């Protein structure tokens, strides 16, 4: 990785004074505006920086997010589009609301269009009408889960999308979605660039699994693991009231076990946490069956927290794909439930099985206060970036500072739980499960 990998694209020279100047008051503008050359170092330890052996100006760093003193677009003439893509996630309405309020109330933008049902809303032939978004129309939408724009999975033709953006004279498109949606946004940028058009595309990364790298924590994640922790606590109550009680709580996490880990740590009620990043066996001295049986014998009950992508190696590989191009996972939760029931019967052990799968209930709730604040600040950072003519980027927070990350860089890999990292060690310490389940 080099510094050039982290450089954000710009549409051109910023020509207009920011209308946010009245917020500065008597303060120095340097205390409010973010400098054009302000950067956040990629590495966060002296040792990592020393290992690179580079002068300061060549060290990998991110462009800092925030308001610029000069902006690229003239606010009164700027037209903006907003689209939400992929699955639901707490905080989507918070982001939409904050985008509209920042654009209209603070920058003076008067034309904001919402495209319905993901990228499909940018294809006229599919028949989804646009929605005019105003401060009045988005008032209080943050109190409700989901997205007022609707959402959908799957890519659409970038040529047709850019045709639509140009037909509507859209200057900035804000894309709220996961890694697949961001790849779609990058394809839109490529088409815009080929045409020589001046349209900025700014991503606000949304993934309930928290698996997008380099952007800190994804919005909605705090709410999600908090709600998952409530299900784990309910599972604990159920199994403690039963003879030989065992519960499985299946939570989101196709390829990353962050929700499973954080919800287990938040509740401190889990006996076992199973995630995609760490393999486990059903049989063997320290396999799952023996471990659960021993825990029930010792404590009278056991709670297993299962990320949906865990244990896939135990089941036949799937051969179907969803609209986003993701392989449809086998249902490890129901498989483990049935296998545990059969194993306890073989051992002639009493068992009361409980199974929880709260995924849709978690995805559809409003954001908690922590996420609401984060959503607002992400949206404000995205507006500052778009109005300053930045494009082909996502906004995020890295070590408590908001940053701009090029879309090609952020979509090159997934963020996941390290089996050798401190988070997984904390989980092992909390559950006291075997380090190796085999």
Q: E strands along 188-327, which residues?
A: 200-205, 245-251, 272-274, 301-307
Q: Report the alpha-carbon distance of residue 15 to residue 17 in Å, rounded.
A: 7
CA 77 – CA 27 distance, rounded (Å): 29
| Alpha carbons 273 and 225: distance in angstroms, whole number | 14
Length of the chain (residues): 438
Which residue among the candidates 111, 171, 209, 211 is catalytic per the annotation?
209
DSSP 104: I
DSSP string, 399-420: TTEEEEEEHHHHTSS-----TT
Tokens of 10: 């710009």
Q: How many CB atoms are located within 10 Å of the residue 123 CB?
A: 17
**In degrees, to the nearest 5, what angle opens at C-alpha 222 toward C-alphas 219 and 224?**
95
Angle between helices 179-195 and 158-167 (to 10 degrees): 60
Structure tokens at 36: 């054009």
**Cβ(384)–Cβ(32) below 8 Å:** no
- Whether 269 is a known active-site residue: answer no
Residues 6 or more apart in contact with residue 57 via CB below 8 angstroms: none
Sheet strands side by side (includes 79-84): 39-41, 61-64, 401-406, 393-398, 200-205, 172-177, 79-84, 111-115, 131-132
In sequence order, the β-bridge partners of residue 252 are none
CB 25 within 8 A of CB 31: no
What is the Rg, in whole angstroms, of the alpha carbon atoms belonging to the chain? 24
Give the number of other CB atoms < 10 A from CB of residue 219. 34
Contacts of 193 (CB under 8 A, 6+ apart): none
Annotated catalytic residues are 209
């Amino acid at each position: 990785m080099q510094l050039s990998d982290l450089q954000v694209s710009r549409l051109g020279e910023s020509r207009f004074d920011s209308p946010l100047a009245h917020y500065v008051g008597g303060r120095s503008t340097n205390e409010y505006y973010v400098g054009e050359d302000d950067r956040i170092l990629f590495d966060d330890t002296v040792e990592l920086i020393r290992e690179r052996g580079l002068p300061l100006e060549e060290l990998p760093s991110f462009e800092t997010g925030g308001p610029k003193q000069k902006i690229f677009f003239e606010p009164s003439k700027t037209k903006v589009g907003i689209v939400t893509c992929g699955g639901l996630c707490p905080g989507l309405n918070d982001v939409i609301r904050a985008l509209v309020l920042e654009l209209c109330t603070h920058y003076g933008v008067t034309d904001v269009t919402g495209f319905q049902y993901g990228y499909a809303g940018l294809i006229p032939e599919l028949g989804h009408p646009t929605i005019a978004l105003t401060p009045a129309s988005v008032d209080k939408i943050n109190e409700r889960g989901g997205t007022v724009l609707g959402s959908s999975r799957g890519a659409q033709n970038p040529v047709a999308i850019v045709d639509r953006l140009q037909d509507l004279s859209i200057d900035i498109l804000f894309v709220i979605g996961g890694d697949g949606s961001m790849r779609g946004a990058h394809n839109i940028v490529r088409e815009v660039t080929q045409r020589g058009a001046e349209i900025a595309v700014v991503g606000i990364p949304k993934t309930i699994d928290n698996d997008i790298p380099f952007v800190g924590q994804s919005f909605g994640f705090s709410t999600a693991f908090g709600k998952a922790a409530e299900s784990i606590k309910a599972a604990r109550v159920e199994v403690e009231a039963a003879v030989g009680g065992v519960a499985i709580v299946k939570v989101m996490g196709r390829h990353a076990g962050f929700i499973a880990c954080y919800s287990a740590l938040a509740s401190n009620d889990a006996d076992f946490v199973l995630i995609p990043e760490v393999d486990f066996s059903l049989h063997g001295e320290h396999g799952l069956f023996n471990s659960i049986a021993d825990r029930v014998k010792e404590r009278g009950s056991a709670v297993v927290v299962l990320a949906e992508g865990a244990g896939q190696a135990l089941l036949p590989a799937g051969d179907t794909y969803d609209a986003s191009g993701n392989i449809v996972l086998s249902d490890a939760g129901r498989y483990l439930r049935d296998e545990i029931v059969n194993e306890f019967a073989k051992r002639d052990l009493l068992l009361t099985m409980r199974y929880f799968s709260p995924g849709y209930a978690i995805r559809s709730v409003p954001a908690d206060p922590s996420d609401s604040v984060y959503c607002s600040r992400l949206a404000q950072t995205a507006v500052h970036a778009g109005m300053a003519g930045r494009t082909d980027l996502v906004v995020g927070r890295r070590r408590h500072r908001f940053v701009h990350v090029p879309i090609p860089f952020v979509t090159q890999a997934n963020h996941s739980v390290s089996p050798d990292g401190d988070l997984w060690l904390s989980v092992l310490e909390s559950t006291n499960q075997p380090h190796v389940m085999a």
